[in-house]
Structure 1
């Protein structure tokens, strides 16, 4: 009877322990998810000076705002970036924390010795924060500072569409100021030539040419202008322009952003009015493209994508060793799916996080004892590799 009672008591304690453990795990998971969405619970504190509890309370509230923003920044950026650029973050972000708070609710407050403590449930604006980080050039670092090519076919005064106009120059200038790496003009000549000679939708042709020029992202667009007769009683000529641009990742062919801007301008000279309208359109496009690209990149960094891999010349006996090495050595590979093997050619689907280029760089450095994996090509979410086995004693490859 006594043993039965002890067993029942142990069972109750065990259920309570498991329930508490599960609650801790779930609350940790919810906290991480909340930080992803910008909703956090934080405590702020400040020292009470000269018995001025009102001033200490306000200082504690500002400290809570700062800690809320710090937590969300910790999710948005890599820890090494936060440490390395702490002074820049303090100047551009943390010192202006209140401006990033959408809403907040005070859960509790108290005087604790010579300190005032306040517990706050705050919602941080991810949009404003990402904009602030982008203005500080910090999101570009997380994205790996991709090289960007810009080609916008712009209608000139004779009705011909040519690259290198007002919109293209405006985008290049704006992106350069934000810290993006731009493909130099010399390398862009082939891209622009391809755009001029291609009829209709030139996106695919421009993407291929941009890849040859070293670009990782290409922004391709078309700008048109329409002028009407002068306004009644004046010499002013109204001009309306429409510009559509798309940002495409070269490696995967993925559409990162698409934006259309329509602007108007008035001038006695239609050419001048057209230039002014194109300048305003370029500014609108720059903001829209960057916002969408950052959103796409942020989503990618926290999600999974499929990289299709083909490995030729690999013996069947080495397939498992390669798959194990991929999962153990390449941190961005989450899963490896075998899609078939024929004529010494292996097909794999790699579920990866981050950018394809980073994963491919790690594949090229894969440690396989005396064997090696040589990358022979990659494009549009696919990578081709060749297995290079170690020579046997007879000089033949294993």
Structure 2
């Protein structure tokens, strides 16, 4: 009965704490542990103390954010918050150090500052909301090459990445919806899609595309360790080259390229097996963790930059008479619309041009600003004044605006 009351009390205390402004600091007494490796006790005790400080920050963070957020997005919180635990700890005191069964244990009393932690948590929660159910399209051109140089299609890494990102909260899109636009073909001839192709993929928010090759090595070849070259072990080597795109603007947010072989560093701690397919799966599963982490970081950095510096917007303008008019329009746009920065112009052809820019706000707000009298009047003046040049917004998406000029 007392245990149930204690648990209920903690829940109620957390609810009250979350509803009211948190105190400036929260003090926690926690214990951290670390294994003693190769007799290095100093290192183990230092790691145990860091683990304790991290646990103190996690406990305070658990009160500031919902349990659902902590559970569903533990990796993102770990990447963005908990790795910087020391920065949130104002002071700490070591209460106890002891060694038990080859494990160093350190108990600390830590004073955790809540202001910066709460601010950073809110930033992460905003990113989580933006990433929630993000639609991800994985279109890889995979192939397996036998020792006799016979090439067959493969989907090993694709399946590993699909499973990992599904668990990470992404909504995976069936590649059949976009295979034609990405112009997939046999072999590894998939080229990097241009921005227009990526922007036309409305079915997804992000795309991972590229090439993967698994080469099945003959027994006794030079790849792998001596143990791996023993009869019965099926060695695999190869490489991948992947790109991650944000479809809203066609921006490449990451490029990943690496090589692999059958060494433990590539396939992980799994024991050698007796099929090329299984070895390939071990490599993809072990190394795929690095790809997932890299993609997650790239997307988070992309969203963070958008929040701090503005969302990248592609603006298409139709009806400009000549290049002089293009320059005049760009000048009025940059000087008149508050929140616009980093305006870059693309190719000008047949009265149409595309601008890449950043905007602190939504594209709907930008569309409204383009329709305001102040912008319209300055644009008319810049383009000659007679007859009046009216700019009409003829298309808006989450990251694109289409503007048509008429006289």
Aligned match for 1:246, one of 243, 266, 282: 243
Once the two structures are TM-superposed, the CA of residue 324 in structure 1 deviates from its matched residue by 11
1:200-279 equivalences under 5 Å are: 200=189, 202-204=191-193, 208=197, 211-212=200-201, 214-226=203-215, 227-230=217-220, 231=228, 233-261=230-258, 262=260, 264=262, 265=267, 266-279=272-285
* Residue 157 (structure 2) aligned to one of 156, 164, 167: 167
Are 1:152 and 2:140 matched, yes or no? yes
Tell me what 2:25 maps to: 43
Q: 1:176 Cα deviation (Å)?
A: 2.0
**1:384 to 2:402 alignment:** yes
Equivalent position of 2:44 in the other structure: none
CA distance in 1, matches of 2:340, 2:121: 29
Q: CA deviation at 1:209?
A: 6.4
1:374 maps to which residue? Answer: 393
**Match runs of 1:256-335 below 5 Å:** 256-261=253-258, 262=260, 264=262, 265=267, 266-304=272-310, 307=313, 309-313=315-319, 327=337, 333-334=339-340
Alignment of 1:170-189 (within 5 A): 170-189=160-179
Q: What is the root-mean-square deviation of aligned Cα atoms in Å?
A: 5.5
Aligned length: 295
Which position in structure 2 is the counterpart of 1:88? 68
Q: Gaps spanning 5+ residues in structure 1: where?
A: 1-40, 47-60, 74-81, 109-116, 389-397
Aligned pair 1:106/2:106, yes or no? no
**CA 63–173 in structure 1, closer or farther in 2 if over 3 Å, else same:** closer
CA distance in structure 1 between the partners assigned to 2:229 and 2:55 by the alignment: 60
Shift of 1:327: 3.8
Give the Cα separation in 2 of the matches to 1:70 and 1:202.
Answer: 45
Relative distance call for 1:244 and 1:336 in structure 2 (3 A) is: closer
Task: Kindly provide the CA deviation profile for residues 14-45 of structure 1, in whole angstroms up to 9, marking residues without a partner as x.
Answer: xxxxxxxxxxxxxxxxxxxxxxxxxxx94236
Partners of 1:238 and 1:273 in 2: CA distance:
7
- State the SS of the aligned residue for 2:180: helix
Matches of 2:191 and 2:355, distance apart in 1? 32
Distance 2:135 2:280 in 1: 30
User: In structure 1, the residue corresponding to 2:169 is in which secondary structure?
Assistant: coil
Q: The residue matched to 2:200 in structure 1 has which SS?
A: helix
SS at match of 1:268: coil
Greater helix share, structure number: 1
> 196, 199, 204: which one pairs with 2:185?
196
**TM-score of the pair, normalised by structure 1:** 0.54
TM-score of the superposed pair, with normalisation by structure 2:
0.53
CA distance in 2 between partners of 1:301 and 1:250 (Å) = 17
In structure 2, how many angstroms separate the alpha carbons of the residues matched to 1:209 and 1:348?
Answer: 17
Distance change in 2, residues 1:201/1:99 (3 Å): closer
Secondary structure, in 3 states, of the residue corresponding to 1:190?
coil
The gaps in structure 2 that reach 5 residues or longer are: 1-22, 29-52, 94-108, 221-227, 374-389
Rate the CA distance shift 1:139–1:272 in 2: closer, same or farther, 3 A: same
1:178–1:365 Cα change, 3 Å: farther
SS of the residue corresponding to residue 309 of structure 2 reads coil
Change (3 A) 1:375 1:279: farther
C-alpha displacement at 1:310, in angstroms?
A: 4.5
Deviation per CA, 1:150-194: give whole Å up to 9, x if none. Answer: 1111112555374x71111221222222222332344134246x1
